[in-house]
């Protein structure tokens, strides 16, 4: 087996990420820092170490280095607009006064997605901040530590943030900008692999699982989608990335009309009844 195959197999086994031939050329570049730090001269030596040692930390470092952590504030905009204008008002109508909502950014990377949801909610005036909990998870420790700190470079705050949001919700800290406590306190971040049991995270009313499924193979996508659906409230919402679909993966996830919102827990798939008295479906939004 070539070094590239050994490394790609490891990444797939531990994270579900499929490194196609188009990604293999990235290995040298992405693993360069790790190999220098560990004084590993080349990919063949790294593959050999991984095969001969049972080295959890090294394996995790390889996976984190090979994963794409690209993200930005209010990425794709439409899911945030849908949540603000349709999803949130519907959930609050369903739940009544005093409702508390739990939201999940399921591949949170450095936290911009979770903080964008929090800023949108704070600006919307639809629900008080303390009644919303936003949990961000990612398998990568470095990005999750950065998300927790809520510190962003000038370049990062220039990507997707309006001047209003920057001035309202961030404070300059030297060369960087830190998200202010009222928004930060709505969000918490945890390391979590989507291939692991996600039940301990609890139930969610809104899930953003964007720009991670498309790196998985079909069985992994289906497994992760089904697991997420099981963690969702019957009237909850699932938002996917613009290039992601549930078609052919999970029949219980159903689009919410022309808005592309999808519903989970669809009783139809299980019962064959189009309009049943079972709980409503959980919408999934796909921009
Ligand atoms: C491209 S970023 C997407 C960030 C954000 N959701 C967005 O759309 O901007 C994908 C993230 O998924 C994470 N990831 C990849 N495989 C994962 C897995 N099995 N479990 C949890 N996170 C994973 C990566 O570490 C990376 O930070």
- Which pLDDT tens digit goes with each residue over 78-136? 999 999 999 999 999 999 889 999 999 999 999 999 999 999 999 999 999 999 999 99
Give residue 276's pLDDT: 32
Question: How many Å is the Cα radius of gyration of the chain?
Answer: 20
Residue nearest to atom 13 of ligand 1 (CA): 107
Q: Give the Å distance between the CA of 120 and the centre of ligand 1.
A: 21
- Residue-wise DSSP of 165-227: HHHHHEEEETTEEEE-HHHHTTEEEEE--TTS--GGG--EEEEEE-SSGGGB-HHHHHHHHHH
| 283/122: higher pLDDT | 122
The CATH number linked to 187 is: 3.40.50.150
Last residue of a domain, one of 14, 31, 66: 66
pLDDT on residue 263: 60
Residues 143 and 11 in one domain: no
Q: Give a yes or no: residue 22 inside a domain.
A: yes
Residue 31 and residue 167 in one domain: no
* Atom of ligand 1 minimally distant from the CA of 109: 27
Look at residue 72 and tell me if it is in a domain.
no
* One domain for residues 175 and 201: yes
What does the pLDDT average to over 15-41?
89
Residues 6+ apart with CB under 8 A from 1: 9
Higher pLDDT, 237 or 287: 237
Indicate the residue among 66, 96, 111 that finishes a domain: 66
Distance (angstroms) between ligand 1 centre and the Cα of 157 equals: 20
Contact indicator for 113, 104 with CB cutoff of 8 Å: no
Residue 259 has pLDDT above 50, yes or no: no
Structural contact between residues 79 and 239, judged by C-beta atoms closer than 8 angstroms: yes
Q: Residues 191, 139: contact at Cβ < 8 Å?
A: yes
**Ligand 1 contact via 67 beta carbon (within 6 Å):** yes
Rounded CA-CA distance 119/124 in Å is 8
Q: Residue 130 and residue 47: Cα distance in Å, rounded?
A: 48
Q: What percent of the chain has pLDDT over 70?
A: 88
User: What does the mean pLDDT of the chain come to?
Assistant: 88
272 alpha carbon to ligand 1 midpoint, in Å? 35
What are the Cα distances from residue 170, in Å, to 74, 151, 153?
Answer: 15, 9, 11
Phi-psi region of 189 (alpha: psi -120 to 50; beta: other; left: phi over 0): beta
Region of 160 (left: φ > 0; alpha: ψ -120 to 50; beta: rest) is left
For residue 71, being part of any structural domain is answered with no
Q: Are residues 91 and 196 located together in one domain of the fold?
A: yes
Q: How far is the CA of 274 from the centre of ligand 1 (A)?
A: 35
Examine the pLDDT at 251 and tell me if it is beyond 80. no
232 and 252 in one domain?
yes
Per-residue model confidence as pLDDT tens digits over 217-237:
999 999 999 999 999 998 899
Answer yes or no: do 238 and 160 share one domain: yes
For the CA of 209, the closest atom of ligand 1 is 6
In this prediction, residue 247 has a pLDDT band, given cuts at 50, 70 and 90, of confident
What are the residues facing 170 on neighbouring strands? 179
Segments of the chain assigned E as strands: 101-105, 132-138, 151-152, 170-173, 176-179, 187-191, 204-209, 232-240, 254-256, 261-263, 284-286
Range of the domain at 212: 78-286
pLDDT of 43 strictly over 60: yes
Note whether 258 and 156 are same-domain residues. Answer: yes
Where does the pLDDT of residue 278 fall: very low under 50, low under 70, confident under 90, or very high at 90 and above? Answer: very low
Q: Return the residue whose CA atom lies nearest to atom 7 of ligand 1.
A: 71
Q: How confident is the model at residue 28 (pLDDT cuts 50, 70, 90)?
A: confident
Number of domains forming the structure of the chain: 2
- The answer as to whether 251 is a domain residue is yes
232 in a domain, yes or no?
Answer: yes
The whole-model pTM stands at 0.91
pLDDT at 85: 94
145 within a domain of the structure (yes/no): yes
How far apart, in Å, are the Cα atoms of 237 and each of 36, 50, 154, 286?
44, 40, 32, 11
Are 177 and 170 contacting, i.e. CB atoms less than 8 angstroms apart?
yes
Q: Could you say which of 34, 66, 98 is where a domain stops? A: 66
Question: From the CB of 165, is ligand 1 less than 6 Å away?
Answer: no
* Predicted confidence (pLDDT) per residue in 54-82, tens digit: 899 999 999 999 999 999 999 999 999 99
pLDDT in tens, 157-178: 999 999 999 999 999 999 999 9
Q: Are residues 36 and 93 in the same domain?
A: no
Residue 10, ligand 1, Cβ within 6 A: no
* Same domain, residue pair 30 and 102: no
Specify whether 105 is located in the same domain as 216.
Answer: yes
Place of tokens 């289906």: 222
């Amino acid at each position: 087996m070539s070094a590239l195959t050994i490394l790609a197999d490891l990444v797939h086994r531990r994270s579900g990420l499929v490194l196609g031939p188009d990604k293999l050329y990235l290995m040298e570049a992405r693993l360069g820092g790790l190999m220098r730090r560990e004084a590993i001269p080349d990919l063949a030596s790294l593959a050999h170490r991984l095969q001969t040692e049972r080295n959890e930390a090294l394996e995790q470092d390889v996976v984190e280095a090979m994963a794409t952590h690209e993200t930005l504030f209010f990425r794709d905009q439409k899911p945030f607009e849908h949540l603000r204008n349709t999803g949130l008002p519907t959930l609050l109508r369903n739940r009544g006064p005093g409702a508390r909502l739990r939201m999940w950014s399921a591949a949170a990377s450095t936290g911009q997605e979770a903080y964008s949801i929090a800023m949108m909610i704070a600006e919307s005036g639809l629900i008080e901040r303390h009644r919303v909990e936003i949990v961000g998870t990612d398998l990568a420790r470095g990005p999750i530590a950065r998300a927790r700190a809520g510190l962003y470079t000038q370049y990062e705050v220039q990507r997707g943030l309006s001047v209003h949001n920057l001035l309202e919700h961030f404070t300059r800290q030297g060369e960087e900008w830190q998200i202010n406590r009222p928004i930060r306190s709505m969000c918490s971040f945890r390391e979590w692999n989507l291939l692991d049991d996600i039940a301990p995270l609890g139930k969610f009313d809104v899930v953003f699982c964007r720009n991670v499924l498309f790196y998985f193979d079909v069985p992994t996508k289906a497994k992760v989608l089904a697991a997420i659906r099981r963690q969702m409230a019957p009237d909850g919402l699932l938002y996917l990335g613009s290039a992601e679909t549930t078609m052919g993966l999970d029949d219980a996830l159903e689009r919410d009309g022309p808005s592309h919102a999808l519903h989970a827990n669809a009783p139809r798939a299980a019962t064959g009844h189009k309009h049943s008295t079972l709980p409503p479906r959980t919408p999934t939004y796909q921009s």
